[in-house]
């Protein structure tokens, strides 16, 4: 039987309290896309990265939100 992990240790690594062990730092997870609030910021970032052909996609368009969340998609 494993030893109990103390709450302070779990807080330090932001592990949920219902898990029996401390969360490892090597979890495999897909990278999330880089997003921007303005089109100018998205265009500037794409130019800095050297992306020639791209389009901007608003991720919150379907929800009807006034706040934009723009993603750069390479073509």
pLDDT in tens, 7-21: 777 777 777 767 666
Residue 46 CB burial class (10 angstroms; 0-12, 13-18, ≥19): buried
Kindly state whether residue 59 falls inside one of the protein's structural domains.
yes
Distance CA 14, CA 29 (A): 16
Q: Is 90 exceeded by the pLDDT of residue 37?
A: yes
Token pair in block for residue 18: 């219902």
- Of residues 24 and 63, more confidence is placed in 63
Q: Is 70 exceeded by the pLDDT of residue 44?
A: yes
Using only the alpha carbons of the chain, give its radius of gyration.
20
CB contact at 8 A, 42 and 59: no
| Domain span at 16 | 7-74
Kindly state whether residue 1 falls inside one of the protein's structural domains.
no
Kindly state whether residue 55 falls inside one of the protein's structural domains.
yes
Percent over 90 (pLDDT), the chain: 44
Q: Is 60 exceeded by the pLDDT of residue 53?
A: yes
Q: What pTM does this model have?
A: 0.59
Q: What is the tally of structural domains in the chain?
A: 1
């Amino acid at each position: 039987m494993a030893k109990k992990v103390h709450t302070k240790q779990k807080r330090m690594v932001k592990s949920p309290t219902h898990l029996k062990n401390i969360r490892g730092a090597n979890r495999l997870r897909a990278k999330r896309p880089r997003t921007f609030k303005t089109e100018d910021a998205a265009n500037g970032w794409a130019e800095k990265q050297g992306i020639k052909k791209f389009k901007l996609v608003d991720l919150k368009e379907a929800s009807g939100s006034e706040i934009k969340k723009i993603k750069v998609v390479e073509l």
